[in-house]
Structure 1
Amino acid sequence: MKEDGRVTEGSCRCGQVRMKLKGKPALTMACHCTGCQKMTASAFSLSAFYPFENFEVSGLEPVIGGLHGDLDHYCCPHCLSWLFTRAERMGPFVNVRPTMFENARSFIPFIESQTAEKLSWATTPAVHSFERFPPPDSYPALITEFAASGFAD
């Protein structure tokens, strides 16, 4: 992924965990699963995938919240804001919550997942929809299409 010099900063709600992103996201998405609905107290969660080396955390050390196991959801230890997710199956990527960053409006979801659990009135501008998660082998093509789409500009 080509580095464009962009730096985006953000924090948890209380400001004690600070984060920094370098470059553009590899992919943006909305997840409609009931787990994300419960963790966000909303209709879906928003995500942006970044190469892990383009992500920095400072301040308080995030703690694991939400489910413990297959996916590690990291939260501020003070205000408990859900900040990012890491999982071995995600490979070299971190999945950040765009609403924690200064330019949250620019993270438009390119794909939506778990639409089988979607609230009937919830809509997004996503180009691709998946009843569950996209098949793992579809991510390279989705990332390539996202880069050419202008969604990250």
Structure 2
Amino acid sequence: MPATHEGSCLCGGIQFTVTGDPFLYILCHCTNCKKASGSAFLANAWFKYEDVEVKDNNLLRTYKDIGTKSGSTLVRQFCSNCGSNVFIRPDKNNLKKGDVYIIHAPLVEGYEAWAPNRESFPEDRCSFLREIMIKPKAKSKL
């Protein structure tokens, strides 16, 4: 049975549980993610919709980000109390392979065990950052 991990915004007003590890873990270097995070990149852990249970979302607010580099509208969700960026959701019109939660990885307990497996918009990486080393998945011996 996959492990579950608790998560919350900075003030704890938005709480959630994720089941398993992210199926994708991307460091995004686009301008919008950098502005949303207030940092050099945003660590985005991708989970299937059914693997996320939002326990308390009364403080959750949304911002439709229509000016993305990819051209796809994203729904950025944040805590109205502490300002933490919590989730990114694809706009319903942009869903191609099912609904997902893109969670800011440091909000999830135990995220330190995950390793990013991709970078988005590496051409926009800040000059003081190095390229991440993505380890290839081990080949099965079966």
TM-score (norm 2): 0.80
1:76 aligns with 2:79: yes
- Name the structure 2 match of 1:12: 9
Displacement of 1:104: 2.3
| RMSD between superposed Cα atoms in Å | 2.1
Q: Distance in 1 between matches of 2:85 and 2:39?
A: 13
Number of residue equivalences: 128
Q: Which runs of 5+ in 2 are unaligned?
A: 68-72
Q: Percent identity among equivalent residues? A: 27
Q: Which amino acid aligns with 2:115?
A: I
Q: Distance in 1 between matches of 2:84 and 2:61?
A: 10
Aligned-partner SS, 1:84:
strand
Considering fraction of residues, name the structure with more helix: 1
CA contact (8 A) 1:73 1:86 kept: yes
Q: Which amino acid aligns with 1:119?
A: C
The structure with more radius of gyration? 2
CA contact (8 A) 1:39 1:66 kept: no
Cα separation, partners in 2 of 1:106 and 1:121, compared to 1, 3 Å: same
Considering fraction of residues, name the structure with more strand: 2
- Name the structure 2 match of 1:111: 118
Q: Distance in 2 between matches of 1:40 and 1:14?
A: 16
Cα separation, partners in 2 of 1:72 and 1:126, compared to 1, 3 Å: farther
Q: Which runs of 5+ in 1 are unaligned?
A: 129-144
1:35 to 11, 32, 48: 32
Q: Distance in 1 between matches of 2:13 and 2:122?
A: 34
Cα separation, partners in 2 of 1:15 and 1:68, compared to 1, 3 Å: farther
Cα separation, partners in 2 of 1:12 and 1:66, compared to 1, 3 Å: farther
Q: Distance in 2 between matches of 1:9 and 1:100?
A: 9
Displacement of 1:41: 1.0
Aligned-partner SS, 1:127:
coil
